[in-house]
Amino acid sequence: MTFVEANQLKKEEMWEVVGISASTHFRYLKKDPVLKAETVDRVRRMQRLHRQALGVFEDVEETNRWMATPKAYLQGQTPWLALATDEGAKRVEEMLYRAEYGMFG
């Protein structure tokens, strides 16, 4: 099972977050890919923040639900899609920190 499947993430969302097109993704599947450093950084950021969310919510299903639900603080984006930018990732990280330490509002 892949990270995308395990976390109920749509492939299109994953492509947007890591900054690749569908055609690039399929090209990577056909041959041994050499990923750009920026793409690798985005994948690692995605994994790191998902692990952080899992630590906060302590349940895979609840974590996946939270990551897939639009948030007002993210201008109506889901946390998954917000990870496509540095600013969005910082906001997701801040939300998780606040949730972990009970700092709401």
* Alpha-carbon gap, residue 52 to 36, rounded angstroms: 24
Task: Look up residue 3 and give its two tokens.
Answer: 């990270």
Task: Look up residue 56 and give its two tokens.
Answer: 């906060």
* Alpha-carbon gap, residue 94 to 16, rounded angstroms: 21
Report how far apart, in Å, the C-alpha atoms of 43 and of each of 14, 33, 85 are: 9, 14, 12
Residue 62: Cβ within 10 Å count: 13
Instruction: Report pLDDT for 5.
Output: 66
- Kindly tell me if the per-residue pLDDT of 1 is higher than 60: no
Nearest Cα to Cα of residue 96 among 51, 52, 44, 47: 52
pTM of the model: 0.78
pLDDT in tens, 36-90: 888 889 889 999 999 999 999 999 999 999 999 999 999 999 999 999 999 999 9
